[in-house]
Amino acid sequence: MLLQERAWNSVCPLVIRLKKFYGFSLRLEKALQGLLESLTCPPYTPTQHLEKEQALAKQFAEILHFTLRFDELKMRIPAIQNDFSYYRRTISRNRINNMNLDIESEVNNEMANRMSLFYAEATPMLKTLSTATTNFVTENKTLPLENTTDVLSTMASVCKVMLETPDYTSRFNSEDTLLFCMRVMVGVIILYDHVHPNGAFNKSSKIDMKGCIKVLKEQPADNVEGLLNALKFTTKHLNDESTPKNIRAMLQ
């Protein structure tokens, strides 16, 4: 009983923290859709939007950077789901025994179920943003799809050029700036792949996937393992027949 009590007291603060991140993902979803609306609306082209509204583009990039960073960490910590499973088992057992715990006012069974679905995803934050982007395109039928995909492909191209051009990388103050560019590039590729009917890997794609993967593979393996895994496992069209074999081979 003493060990169970100790385990329970250790898990409860972590569950509260997990709830905060889950709540934050819902806020990110709304923020992303608001930014997409601003960066894709007529009469400006996507490129004009990105030039005229650089602060909004930077916020969009910040969201993607946080998302990829969060998911990289989450993938390395299986204890998150193990601890949360223990929490759910305990509150279920207590309900059967008609015991109410104080924490249930914070994370009740319904909230625990929603959080469980969120954390069951390999990359939960990225999944949230992919769904948000897909919903944005679906709900804005009068807005040409190209407005959204061109914003994403342009951002991917800008990041790739910055990463592969020594003149730019030499100006980076720290490795963090390099990681920022890589995460943003991978993030917009994944969003593009989810909303474009043919995906990011198709020959007709406006994203130079071969160049993007090449620039990632030139970095230290520890820095890019999570990003390459994100391209492998959270994209939609990588395994399509239309994906060139050399692109698929680069991600093996």
- pLDDT-above-90 percentage for the chain: 74
Q: Are 164 and 157 in contact (CB under 8 A)?
A: no
SS (H, E, C) 34-84: HHHHHHHCCCCCHHHHHHHCHHHHHHHHHHHHHHHHHHHHHHCCCHHHHHH
Tokens 């093996």 label which residue?
252
**Average pLDDT, stretch 93-99?**
65
pLDDT tier for residue 99 given thresholds of 50, 70 and 90:
low
Mean pLDDT of the region 134-144: 94
Instruction: Give the integer Cα–Cα distance in Å for 246 and 210.
Output: 8
- What are 59's two structure tokens? 């916020």
**213-247 confidence digits (pLDDT tens):** 999 999 988 889 999 999 998 999 999 999 999 99
Contacts of residue 183, Cβ cutoff 8 Å, sequence gap at least 6: 64, 65, 67, 68, 69, 227
* Cα gap 88→206, rounded to integer Å: 45
Q: How close are the terminal C-alpha atoms of the chain, in Å? A: 48
Tens digit of pLDDT for each residue in 182-210? 999 999 999 999 999 999 999 999 999 99
Residue 57: alpha-carbon gap to chain centroid: 16
> What is the percentage of the chain residues whose pLDDT exceeds 70?
96
Task: Give the count of beta carbons closer than 10 Å to the beta carbon of residue 180.
Answer: 20
Structure pTM? 0.89
pLDDT (average), residues 21-42? 95
When pLDDT is cut at 50, 70 and 90, the band that residue 158 belongs to is: very high
